[in-house]
Structures are given as structure tokens and as C-alpha cells.
Amino acid sequence: MGGWRVKAKEALKQVSITARFLCLLHVTNNYLFSPTLVYGPSMLPTLNLTGDVVLSEHFSHRFGRVRPGDLVLLRLPVDPAKIAVKRIVGMEGDRVTFFDSNATDLLQTLVVPKGHVWIQGDNLYASRDSRHFGPVPYALIQGRAFLRVWPLSSFGSLEQ
């Protein structure tokens, strides 16, 4: 009669361990660090066209600790289901000058509004960024990429 109780207790223990592991994994991946596969031409030559795995942290942007020059993961304002990696070029209050591709390559200057950042890809000829959709709300930033972990031949810091 007591055999099923022992088995039930063991099964409950296994479920508890699994649940704790999944909670730890969720917190780590969403609030601390996560690996991200980044590919495409917009960040050439910093990141490879065929793909790099970068480690990103998810806490500095919550405390206002990102700055111009940082590579950030962000939800695209034109398609919030997509995450992109771009470089912060200007913070709120900064004056940015850029070629406006929407207006036949006229040189434009604007002040980044409060609560927004100006982002651009390193490859200006193949990047859809703030030059196309304007300043990005700070709330769309998901994390800051700081370390390339793959390919191993390019392992190292992404800090400028």
C-alpha cells in the first residue's frame, strides 16, 4: 500500500526540480543574459552576414545604462514581432544628422525626442533603421549585445 506513495513522492520531487529549473531558465533568459543568433547585411562589418551568436544582457537598458555606440537588441517599430540588432547613434536630446532616404537623399538634422533613441546599422546601404522609421521608443530595447561567442575565430567583446 505504501509503494504508490513513495512513487508519487518521487514523481512530485522530479516535477518540482523540473519546474525550478524552468523558472531559473526563464529568469536568466529574459532578465539576465541570453544568446542571440544575428545575421544579415545591416551590421557588416561588425557582425557576419552568415550569422554570429552574440551574448546579450537584459538589465542595463532597464536602468538607463545604454549609450551611443552600444549594440542593442530591439523590437522593430514597423514590425514588433521582429527583433533586430542595431547601434545606438543618438540618445534623447541629441542632435543627429543623416541622409533621409525617404526624401531622395537630402541631408536632415533632428533632435531625438524624449524617451527615444536613434539607431542605425553599421552598413548604411543595407540597413532599415531610424533613417527609415524615425526615432525608436526606449521601451522597444530588449537588451545590449556585448560579446560574440560564435564563430570561435571571432570570439570577443563587441564594446567600442
Instruction: Give catalytic residue positions.
Output: 42, 86
Residue of 74, 97, 92 lying closest to 84 (CA atoms): 74
68: exposed, middle or buried (Cβ count in 10 Å: 0-12, 13-18, 19+): middle
* Spatial contact of 37 and 51, defined as CB atoms under 8 Å apart: yes
Binning the chain into helix, strand and coil, the percentages to the nearest 5 are 30, 40, 30
How far is it, in rounded angstroms, from Cα 85 to Cα 74?
6
How far is it, in rounded angstroms, from Cα 142 to Cα 138?
9
How far is it, in rounded angstroms, from Cα 51 to Cα 64?
28
